[in-house]
C-alpha cells in the first residue's frame, strides 16, 4: 500500500513538473527555425562549430544587428593566427567574423557561465540594461527546448519575446535527447518550482 501511494505521488509530481514546464513554454516566445526580426541574437556557448554559422547567417539576413556571446571558460584548440590556444568564446567570435559579422557587432558579456540557466540570467541582466525586447537564441536543436525554458524563466514578466533557432546537430540522437529531458526535469525541480512559489507569494518572476 505504501509503495502504491509513493508511485502515485511520483506520477503526480512528474505530471505537475511537465505541466509547469509547458506553461513556461506556452507564453510569449517560440521554439522554431522560422524566427522574426529581433533586437539581438544570442549564440549560446558550446558546440560553436555548428552554432556559429547559423548565428552569422541570421545576422547577414538582417534578423538582428548584434550577436551576444557568453564565456563558459572552456580552453580550446590551437590558433595559428594568434599563436596560442583560444577559448571557446574566442573561437566562436572568429567563426562569426569569418561568416561576415563585424567585430563591432559582437558583444562578449563579462564573467563566466557554467550552465544554461547562468547564461540566461547573465543575458537577462544585459537585456534589461540595454532595453532589448526581442531575442533569438541560437543553439543545437536538442538543447533548444531547455534553453528557451531557462530564458523564459530568467526574463521577468515575459518582458522579452524569445525565439529559439535550433541548429540540426549530429549529436542530437535519442540518447542526447533523453539526457536533455532529464536536465529539463532537473531544471523544473531546481528552478521552476521555487519560481512558482515565489510568483504565488509576490506576483513576480525570477529574479
pLDDT tens profile 37-56: 999 999 999 889 999 999 99
Can you tell me the distance from the alpha carbon of 146 to that of 60, in angstroms, rounded to the nearest whole number? 27
pLDDT at 3: 52
Is residue 160 predicted with pLDDT exceeding 70? no
How many residues are recorded in the chain?
A: 207
Question: 47: phi > 0 → left, psi -120 to 50 → alpha, else beta; which?
Answer: left
At residue 99, what are phi and psi to the nearest 5 degrees? -90, 10
What average pLDDT does the segment 109-120 reach? 95
At residue 180, what are phi and psi to the nearest 5 degrees? -65, -40
What b/e string do you get for 146-169 counting C-beta neighbours within 10 Å, with b at 16 or more? bbbbbbbbbbeeeebbbbbbbbeb
Can you tell me the distance from the alpha carbon of 33 to that of 163, in angstroms, rounded to the nearest whole number? 9
Averaged pLDDT of the chain: 81
117: burial class by Cβ within 10 Å (0-12, 13-18, 19+)? buried
Count of C-beta atoms within a 10 Å radius of residue 109:
17
CA 75 from chain centre, in angstroms, equals: 21
pLDDT at 162: 92
Q: How confident is the model at residue 207 (pLDDT cuts 50, 70, 90)?
A: very low
How is the chain split into domains, by residue range?
Answer: 27-170
CATH topology of domain 27-170: Rossmann fold (3.40.50)
pLDDT at 155: 86
Amino acid at each position: 500500500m505504501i509503495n502504491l501511494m509513493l508511485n502515485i505521488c511520483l506520477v503526480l509530481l512528474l505530471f505537475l513538473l511537465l505541466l509547469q514546464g509547458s506553461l513556461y513554454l506556452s507564453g510569449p516566445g517560440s521554439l522554431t527555425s522560422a524566427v522574426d526580426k529581433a533586437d539581438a541574437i544570442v549564440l549560446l556557448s558550446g558546440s560553436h562549430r555548428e552554432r556559429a554559422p547559423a548565428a552569422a547567417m541570421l545576422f547577414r539576413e538582417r534578423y538582428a544587428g548584434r550577436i551576444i556571446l557568453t564565456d563558459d571558460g572552456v580552453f580550446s584548440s590551437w590558433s595559428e593566427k594568434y599563436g596560442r590556444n583560444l577559448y571557446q568564446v574566442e573561437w566562436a567570435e572568429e567563426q562569426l567574423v569569418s561568416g561576415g559579422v563585424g567585430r563591432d557587432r559582437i558583444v562578449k558579456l563579462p564573467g563566466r557561465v557554467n550552465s544554461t540557466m547562468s547564461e540566461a540570467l547573465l543575458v537577462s541582466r544585459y537585456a534589461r540594461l540595454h532595453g532589448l525586447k526581442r531575442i533569438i537564441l541560437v543553439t543545437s536543436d536538442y538543447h533548444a527546448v531547455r534553453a528557451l525554458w531557462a530564458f523564459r524563466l530568467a526574463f521577468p514578466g515575459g518582458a522579452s519575446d524569445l525565439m529559439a533557432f535550433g541548429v540540426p546537430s549530429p549529436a542530437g540522437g535519442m540518447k542526447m535527447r533523453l539526457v536533455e529531458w532529464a536536465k529539463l526535469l532537473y531544471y523544473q525541480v531546481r528552478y521552476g518550482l521555487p519560481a512558482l512559489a515565489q510568483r504565488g507569494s509576490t506576483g513576480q518572476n525570477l529574479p
